A and B are shown apart, each in its own frame.
Chain A
Amino acid sequence: MHAQQQFDAIVVGAGPAGSSAALVLARAGLRVALIERGEYPGAKNVSGAVFYAPGLLAELLPSFWDEAPFERYITRRVLTFLGKESAFSLDFHTRHFALPPYNGVTVLRPKFDRWLAGKAVEAGALLITSTVVDDLLYEGARVIGVQCRRDNGALYAPVVIAADGANSFLAKKAGLQREFSAEEMSLGVKEVLRLGTRTIEERFHLTGDEGMASEYVGEATGPIKGGAFLYTNRETLSLGIIVQIASLAQQRIRPYELLDRFKQHPAVAPLVRDGLTLEYSAHMIPEGGWQLVPRLARAGLLVAGDAAALVFAAGIFLEGMNFAVASGLAAAETALEAHQKGDFSAATLAGYRKRLEQSFVLQDLQRFRLTPAFVNNERLQNIYPELLCQAAEQVFRSEGRPRKKLGSTILTTLRSKVSLWTLLRDGWQAGRALFF
């Protein structure tokens, strides 16, 4: 074995999980290989993309706020129930999210991921791009390295961190993750539209570097289960739809046609008008939540980020990058502990799960474990948004006739499509999923 092929730790995938892990490991003085299949970190990566709780990285990188290539900090959150020709929005704006550590920032992944991987390199990690990892190498039941798809592609380390993304071939090959079902995976398709800084600020009521994260449910995805998003970058918009794969297959509508329908909705068209499409992209998202989280470790191996399905898609929350970073950091700390002990057994690496259980990563996923089923409720997807719009329309309608009190107007509208019993049952489901 060549000395060059022996490392203290190998990290597969230079996304937010992998690069965060590599950064911590390299800073601790370990010899770290960070392997990326793209030409550059971020080349294969797509998010909406709002990076919530960026303070997680700022704690690690004091220069974060000055140099990290983020686009805008989110001060405006909008949730819209979209009917066929109407829209009902909750629109929240606060200046309290306008100071570091910001609550959330928009990023463009090719730029951001390249920057973050660069930080790991500055700390001493060896970044190996354009390299696919095909498999893990074992000694008995213990993972001792990775097999790259190139000549002499075996690299060795006592601990491997698989941060290889949503498809997580390594987690599956290691027997930690099962095959996915089309019900628990989603497809996101996205466009980046150039509008110009001035237009974005005026159109979305933003000042300076303020930004907006806006999400839609209902007619946004027609009869298909899912939702849509619209986020502001510095001079572009990121917009797209996220749909359950099983539902997409069933309804037989192509995702890009659905995206066009969303863009042409009367409530959305004026927001994207004159936008020049710069790029189209797509990515799979493990949205199954708690039940999709695999076993997270075995001897010599830890799984982090999307590869471990650590995505928090819980209705009003759509978070992934912060879960990736936090899990990458926890994986690195666990690997460091293993190095100190000189013990890379499953028992030592089980400390990784304990760390995640003590952090928001597994606590949020567990606490909101009923939310994915609630979000895919047929009526929440296809009936309530339209009904909510109709109710609002009835309330606001002035016809020169005597009005009924609002309760009766609203209840009559809702009960035109759904029985009181169903309403109560869905209300209870919403409550269990999100409120109590």
Chain B
Amino acid sequence: MQELASEPVATQPIEERLELVRFKVDKRPHIRVHTEACRGCDLTPCVYVCPAGLFEILGGEMHFSYEHCLECGTCYVACERKAIEWDYPRGGWGVSFRAS
């Protein structure tokens, strides 16, 4: 039997997906990360679980943005070091789903 070669999966960049979503970005961030607690974190679950790809390790330092947050709360549940302080954005700000 001939093995079927599985096609490499082409994934759409997250930025393109987020362009479809309506955000009213508050100047005040609703996510705070105590990045000193991130040093030495090998798991970095936040990087992998965030559905908006907002967390990134660059040069050993945690970088994050809050602007395109989908407000699910997955990051703070996944973070074992409890480094993420997460609250809702101010009323009326943040994400507004329209077609879901």
The residues of A with any CB-CB pair to B shorter than 8 Å are 37-40, 42-46, 49, 84-85, 108-110, 129-132, 148-150, 166-167, 169, 180-182, 185, 187, 189-192, 236, 238, 245-246, 248-249, 251-257, 260-261, 264, 277-284
Contact = CB atoms under 8 A, between A and B. Distances in A.
Contacts of A166: 72-73
A256 B53 contact: yes
Nearest to A278: B99
Given A192-B99, A254-B53, A130 B74 contact: no
Interface stretch (B15-23, B32-40, B57-65): B15-23
Contact of A245 (B18, B24, B74): B74
Given A46-B97, A167-B73, A37 B88 contact: yes
19 contacts: A39-B96, A43-B96, A110-B96, A110-B98, A110-B100, A132-B88, A167-B73, A169-B87, A187-B74, A236-B99, A245-B78, A246-B78, A257-B11, A264-B9, A277-B20, A279-B100, A282-B51, A282-B70, A283-B70
A400 to B, nearest CB: 14
A148 B90 CA distance: 10
A294 to B, nearest CB: 15
Contacts of A45: 97, 100
Contact of B98 (A256, A279, A283): A279
Contact of B11 (A40, A43, A248, A256): A256
Interface in B1-55: 4, 6-7, 9-12, 14, 17-18, 20-21, 24, 43, 45, 48-53
A38 B96 contact: yes
Interface SS of B by simple majority: loop
B74 A110 contact: no
Contacts of B78: 182, 245-246, 248-249
Contact of B49 (A39, A190, A248, A283): A248
Nearest to A128: B91
A397 to B, nearest CB: 10
A249 B49 contact: yes
A28 B71 CA distance: 34
Given A109-B97, A110-B98, A187-B51, A149 B74 contact: no
Nearest to B24: A39
Contact of A44 (B4, B9, B49, B71): B71
B48 A279 contact: no
Nearest to B30: A132
A149 B90 contact: yes
Contacts of B50: 254
A264 B91 CA distance: 38
B83 interface: no
